[in-house]
Amino acid sequence: MLKNRRSLLILTLLLAIGMVLGACGSSDGDSEDAEGSGSDNSNGEEAAGDDFSVAMVTDVGGIDDKSFNQSAWEGLTAFGEENGMEKGQGIDYAQSTSDADYNTNLNRLVRSDYNLIYGIGFLLAPAIEEVADQNPDTNFGIVDSVVEKDNVASIVFKEHQGSFLVGVAAAMKTESDKVGFIGGVDSDLINKFEAGFRAGVKSVNKDIEVKVQYAGAFDAPDDGKAIASNMYSQGIDVIYHASGGTGNGVFAQAKDLKQNDADRNVWVIGVDRDQHEEGQINDTNVTLTSMVKRVDVAVQDVSTNAMNGEFPGGEVVEYGLEDDAISVATTNEEAMTDEIKTAVEDWKEKIVNGEVEVPSTIDEVKEFEDSL
């Protein structure tokens, strides 16, 4: 009898130990499943919740630069509105205050499982190349540069074409036969703006003087204001800027001069977006026109294609006048006279038809000027 009781006790203890071990095993398994079903997107599939998501990293100009970055965010916002998304829920941005932020912001968005991540501006190209190489299952877009990776779409524009047309407008508007160009960073990209502008001016009048200066940054409005002050003091009456947030200082200087002398002839040509609003002062406006570069259209277009499974990875996607992705603003109807608008349209037709090949480098613009 005692032997049977001992056997029963041992059997009971063994069963109890087995149940405890089984419970521990189930607990570990549930924990692994929970971690596995979170936001990990290492296999490149859609983000948590199976929703397509897109984000962008700004350059140092910031999201409210009233120019390039702002246009990109407007395009992403439009994409979001079309697809029931809003900031923080399907679309988002990370703002950079210095170039040291580029890799950090890109990697943070990768960890947040965005399906497509844009780098806005050529300054982000090295960071995009590095992060894209480290994360082959995530898609990226670089604006204004080319990164040769299968998971990167390179989005570029024919800025020289639009710059040529605003050069025509500047040449027809100047009263002093002196115009200026203020660039951000002296680079191949901004040289395209300069080349097109100079060619457009000279096409109208070879004798017009074109003064060029680079600020060395896209986020230096104080420098932009100082350069513009110097140019206007030399008799220049039209300045075209391709300098992102630095251009805010150009507008500020023109408005200051107009405020002090309402009859003074000072104009600014905006860039990327229609910057008519930036030139408003009292009942007048110093924005002659703007070279509108539809970064918003490109970002929205590529995002839609990516969501539909047609991401142009490894491709260079170029937008120009023929795509209505480059245009000239005519918001200031008083300043942009019918004569100027007609001339701009005539030159646009010649460019689109291939009658005029607009130079895109400084060397090419010198050859172009010699041929006039």
Find where tokens 């130990």 sit.
Answer: 17
Q: Provide the residue range defining the domain that includes 153.
A: 50-157
Residue 192: band (very low, low, confident or very high) from pLDDT cuts 50, 70, 90:
very high
91 & 58 share domain:
yes
286 and 171 share a domain?
A: yes
The stretch 116-138 carries a mean pLDDT of: 97
* Total domain count, the chain: 2
Domain membership of residue 308 (yes or no) is: no
Query: What pLDDT is stored for residue 65 in this prediction?
Result: 86
Check whether 54 has a pLDDT greater than 70.
yes
Q: Which of 109, 55, 59, 108 is nearest to 79 (CA)?
A: 55
Q: What is the mean pLDDT of residues 79-98?
A: 96
Q: Indicate whether 71 pLDDT > 50.
A: yes
- CB–CB of 333/146 below 8 Å? no
Domain of 89, CATH number, reads 3.40.50.2300
Q: How many CB atoms lie within 10 A of CB 316?
A: 13
Greater pLDDT, 25 or 147: 147
User: Are 148 and 166 in a shared domain?
Assistant: no
Closest by Cα among 93, 141, 88, 133 to 295: 141
Residue with tokens 């490894």, as numbered in its chain: 314
pLDDT the model gives residue 311: 98
Quote the percentage of the chain above a pLDDT of 90: 83
Residues contacting residue 275 through CB under 8 Å, at least 6 positions apart:
66, 67, 247, 251, 268, 287, 290, 329
In a domain, 318, yes or no: no
Instruction: Say if residue 34's pLDDT is above 80.
Output: no
The domain boundary, picked from 140, 157, 174, lies at 157
Q: Mark which of 157, 190, 207 sits at the end of a domain.
A: 157
Query: Same structural domain for residues 167 and 263?
Result: yes
49: amino acid identity, one letter:
G
Token pair of 237 as six digits? 């009456």
Pairwise CA distance, residues 344 & 334, whole Å: 16
Residues 212-241: what's their mean pLDDT? 97
Q: Give the H or E element holding residue 259.
A: helix 247-260
Q: Which of 366, 285, 297, 368 is nearest to 326 (CA)?
A: 297
In a domain, 138, yes or no: yes
Across the chain, mean pLDDT equals: 89
- Residue 221 domain flag: yes
CA distance 248 to 252: 6
**312 falls within a domain:** no
State the Cα–Cα distance between residues 327 and 348, nearest whole angstrom: 9
Say yes or no: 77 and 221 in one domain. no
Please indicate, yes or no, whether residues 228 and 91 belong to a single structural domain of this protein: no
Q: Are residues 137 and 219 in the same domain?
A: no
Domain boundary among 130, 157, 184: 157
Output the pLDDT for position 281. 95
Which candidate, 155, 158, 162, places its Cα nearest to that of 296? 155
CB of 201 within 8 A of CB of 192? no
- Assess whether pLDDT exceeds 60 at residue 353: yes
- Do 181 and 288 belong to one domain? yes
Within-domain flag for 10: no
Range of lowest pLDDT (33-42, 52-61, 243-252): 33-42
| pLDDT (0 to 100) of residue 50 | 54
Cβ atoms within 10 Å, residue 318:
13
Tokens of 48: 């948590």
Whether the pLDDT of residue 84 is over 80: the answer is yes
Q: What is the pTM (predicted TM-score) of this model?
A: 0.81
- String of b and e for 344-356 (b: at least 16 CB within 10 Å)? beebbeebeeeeb
Q: Answer yes or no: do 135 and 169 share one domain.
A: no
Which carries the bigger pLDDT value, residue 224 or residue 9? 224
Residue 254: closest CA among 331, 276, 177: 276
Q: Residue 124 domain-assigned?
A: yes
Beta-carbon contacts of residue 324 (< 8 Å; ≥ 6 apart): 294, 297
Measured N-to-C along each axis, helices 338-352 and 188-204 cross at an angle, to the nearest 10 degrees, of 120
My answer on whether 217 and 360 are in the same domain is yes
175 and 141 both lie in a single domain: no
Backbone angles phi, psi at 292, to 5 degrees: -85, 120
Q: Is the pLDDT of residue 44 over 60?
A: no
Quick check: 55 and 120 in contact, CB under 8 A?
Answer: no
Task: Please check whether residue 279 lies inside any domain of the structure.
Answer: yes
- Same domain membership, residue 255 and residue 166: yes
